[in-house]
Amino acid sequence: MGWFFLILWPLLGIRADGLFFAQTFSIWIKVVAACAIVLVLAQLHRAGRLEWVSRPVQALGSKVQAAYAVSPKWLLATIMLALAVAYPFLTSRYGQDVAINVLVYICLGLGLNIVVGLCGLLDLGYIAFYGVGAYTYALLSIHYDFSFWLSLPAAGVLAAAAGCIIGYPTLRMRGDYLAIVTLGFGEIVRLILNNWMSLTNGPNGILGIKAPGAWVPDFARGLSLEHVWLTRPKELYFVILGLAVFTILAVYRLNYSRIGRAWEAIREDETAAELMGVNTFLLKLLSYAMGAVFGGLAGAFFAAKMRFVSPESFTFLESAMVLAMVVLGGLGSIPGVILGVLALIALPEVFREFEMYRMLVFGGAMTLMMVVKPRGLWPAKRFGKRSEEE
Amino acid sequence: MDYFLQQLINGVTLGGIYALIALGYTMVYGIIQLINFAHGEFFAAGGYIGVIFITWLSAQGLHPYVCLGLSLLLSMLYCALLAMAVEKVAYKPLRYASRLSVLLSALGMSIFLQNGLMLTQGVYDKPYPTDLTQGGFAMGGVVVSYMQIIILVLTTVLLIGLNAMVFKTRIGKAMRATAQDKVMSGLVGINSSTVISFTFAIGAALAAAAGIMVGFYYGSVNYTMGFVPGIKAFAAAVLGGIGNITGAMVGGLIIGMVEIFAAGYLSSEYKDVFAFIILIAVLYFMPTGIMGENVDDTRV
């Protein structure tokens, strides 16, 4: 298998202007070196030479998961929340920015997780809902002077409506057709945002969106309330933290409800689920709408944070990135998705000098994960064999 | 009327290119029921390899048409190897896994290859030499450029060649047999692994040829160029009935025509949207396409 990697590469080493090697060669050699290391590790692993590393790691992993399983959930939740609340007070502005990004992607990842992980429908146009949410808040804020907090539910509702519009014609299709059609819909949404000049100002985007506001008690002038704009990263962090906690709680509750069980039944075997009395069409539509809601909420926050939206932010690559996070972490598993987001957002920040290679690594990691460990870093507990056997 | 004829010729040219890409999708889908997301990247890689070799060979002082022919062959060969490598690395280990994981693996490969192209070839458009394809002749009010003629002739030759290969040769018969029933064809001694590899290679070679033609048609190539034509070609494959070779050719022509006429008469900004709408409408109202999906003899 190793030599096939050699074939992958001649392309990467050449440049058209009279077969010019030097500059591209340096990039090429890095990629080759990384692939070679991965391959060698894989070979060693197969030969059992890595047991001195893999066994303790595996033991640690299973211990962590066992501890997670037995320790009371409220305790874990309190610790996590306390850490999350304390975080911005301990870090610099840069750290807060990264954390905001991570939390936005947690919202997106968990929303997509409902569709892909729980219901088993591959959605490649998920970022469209993020875009719908962002543009909803942007337009409401610019034209009607709506506050962020009022626009948030509006963004959620509109995204859910978009989810239903996209979901209704597509859900009768087979799995892989669904993937390509959602991809097409995602592109249609982006093209509309790009070309509907009178509404969205086209590729120039919308400027001057207001930040979220808040009323804080002002003790200087007695007990009056003072209105402030939350523009600093520290303040925005708490806004998105609230949204992320809401998302996690909502997805958790959904996952273990009647609806969540029905979704998982559909994922495992649609025909059997239908026979057991699950209204598959309605529930699939619901999974689309619910997934879209969280995308829309995250989108509204994105618009409020950047105070600028343009169609550039809602490309297919963005969809693929969110999908890569969900897949890497583990389809259908909430801690898995969070882990996946941390792995794909926070780690690249650590290796900043390799930023160019980010998407390359995303793609490679996605394929590698599917080949090596298709259920992700932190697999969901309830994941049947059925959907893997075909 | 002249405008209509002009658009018709443009539409046929573009449609031929889409047909070439669509064939790869349809053959791969027919044989292993996988939407090969990386197919668009083979197309882009073909375009790049083409421009690299054309520039290099013409710097060696060869005749432009010799350059064109040689780089076409080299680029097809390269993309065939690339596709075989991708198949071995990313799809073969997942032959018995769930559909979702194979799709995700394909998507990962597509992102990987696209960014590989971006990193090494740069983010800017790479121009194709224009001296080869300048000029043309006018028939009444309609201008046909030499480039369009080259594209049309090449497309026709490739399509006829493919048809002959699939329906007249042993390996073509093996491909059809494997598409119909993998177990049964294995029992009569067909190595399905080789056949699948070969199918990927053929599809990617056609896509590489299409990549070079698009390079000439639009005058440049870009690392993202595989994405939108990829979806359109997939729409063409679905329109013709996925898995159906003749269908993919017809579907490609229709999608190309629709795009050109929509851009010419309706709105050029939304021209991409029409292809997607056709895709969605076909899947919703006529999921087996216009030529039918399960015609056993033509299913490869």
Tokens of B138: 């006018």
CA distance B100 to B103: 5
State the residue range of the domain holding B202.
Answer: 2-225
Residue B296: pLDDT over 60 = no
Q: Does residue B267 belong to any structural domain of this protein?
A: no
User: Among residues 358-387 of chain A, which lie with CB inside 8 Å of chain B?
Assistant: 359-360, 362-371, 374, 387
B100/A357 CB distance under 8 A? no
**Looking at beta carbons, which residues of chain A come within 8 Å of B85?**
4-5, 7-8
* pLDDT score of B60: 77
**Closest CB to A388 among B97, B108, B115:** B97
Tokens of A52: 């001195």
Question: Percent of chain B beyond pLDDT 70?
Answer: 95
B107/A317 CB distance under 8 A? no
The band of B210, judged by pLDDT with boundaries at 50, 70 and 90, is very high
Residue with tokens 């120039």: A204
* pLDDT score of B247: 86
Domain count of the fold of chain B: 1
The one-character DSSP state at A357 is: G
**Looking at beta carbons, which residues of chain B come within 8 Å of A11?**
45, 48-49, 78, 82, 116-117, 120
Q: Report yes or no: A352 and A143 within 8 Å, Cβ to Cβ.
A: no
B280/A185 CB distance under 8 A? yes
∠ CA(A171), CA(A176), CA(A178), 5° rounding?
Answer: 25
Q: Which residues of chain A have pLDDT under 50?
A: 386-390
**Closest CB to B115 among A122, A179, A359:** A359
The one-character DSSP state at A210 is: P
* pLDDT score of A389: 43
A324/B108 CB distance under 8 A? yes
Name which of A111, A151, A114 is nearest A128 in CA terms: A111
> Which chain B residue lies closest to A26 (C-alpha atoms)?
B120
Residue B290: pLDDT over 90 = no
More confident residue, A15 or B131: B131
Name which of A328, A336, A271 is nearest A64 in CA terms: A336
Residue B63: pLDDT over 70 = yes
Which domains can be identified in chain A, with CATH numbers?
Answer: 1-70 (no CATH), 77-389 (1.10.3470)
Name which of B47, B244, B295, B110 is nearest A16 in CA terms: B47
* pLDDT score of A387: 47
Residue with tokens 């997942």: B94
Q: Does A180 touch chain B (CB under 8 A)?
A: yes
B35/A367 CB distance under 8 A? no
CA distance A11 to A14: 6
- Mean pLDDT over B155-181 rounds to 88
Q: Report yes or no: B298 and B244 within 8 Å, Cβ to Cβ.
A: yes
* pLDDT score of A293: 93
Helices (H), chain A: 2-8, 22-47, 51-70, 73-90, 93-112, 127-144, 148-170, 175-195, 197-200, 233-255, 258-268, 270-275, 280-306, 316-329, 334-341, 347-350, 358-372, 386-389
ipTM surpassing 0.85: no
Q: Does residue B275 belong to any structural domain of this protein?
A: no
Query: In angstroms, what separates the C-alpha of B156 from chain A's closest C-alpha?
Result: 28
Q: Does residue B281 belong to any structural domain of this protein?
A: no
**Closest CB to A7 among B82, B112, B287:** B82
Residues whose CB falls within 8 Å of the CB of residue B141, separated by 6 or more in sequence, listed in order: B2, B5, B6
Residue A221 pairs with which residues in a beta bridge? none
**Looking at beta carbons, which residues of chain A come within 8 Å of B98?**
374, 387-390
CA distance B278 to B21: 17
- Model pLDDT for residues B71-115, shown as the tens digit of each residue: 899 899 989 988 888 888 888 888 887 777 888 888 888 888 888
**Looking at beta carbons, which residues of chain B come within 8 Å of A46?**
none
* pLDDT score of A13: 56
Residue with tokens 């201008």: B143
**Looking at beta carbons, which residues of chain B come within 8 Å of A356?**
119
Q: Does residue B251 belong to any structural domain of this protein?
A: no
* pLDDT score of A174: 67
> Which chain A residue lies closest to B103 (C-alpha atoms)?
A176
Distances (CA, A) of A61 to A38, A54, A106, A283, A341: 21, 10, 22, 34, 18
Q: Report yes or no: B234 and B248 within 8 Å, Cβ to Cβ.
A: no
Q: Report yes or no: A130 and A299 within 8 Å, Cβ to Cβ.
A: yes
More confident residue, B201 or A40: B201
Q: Does residue B144 belong to any structural domain of this protein?
A: yes
User: Among residues 53-92 of chain A, which lie with CB inside 8 Å of chain B?
Assistant: none
A191/B59 CB distance under 8 A? no
Q: Which of A175-179, B40-44, B237-241, B273-277 has the highest mean pLDDT?
A: B40-44
Tokens of B287: 């999921």
CB pairs under 8 A between A and B: 192
∠ CA(B69), CA(B73), CA(B78), 5° rounding?
Answer: 145
Residues whose CB falls within 8 Å of the CB of residue A178, separated by 6 or more in sequence, listed in order: A121, A122, A123, A170, A171
Q: Does residue B28 belong to any structural domain of this protein?
A: yes
- Model pLDDT for residues A220-232, shown as the tens digit of each residue: 666 667 777 777 7
Residue B4: pLDDT over 90 = no
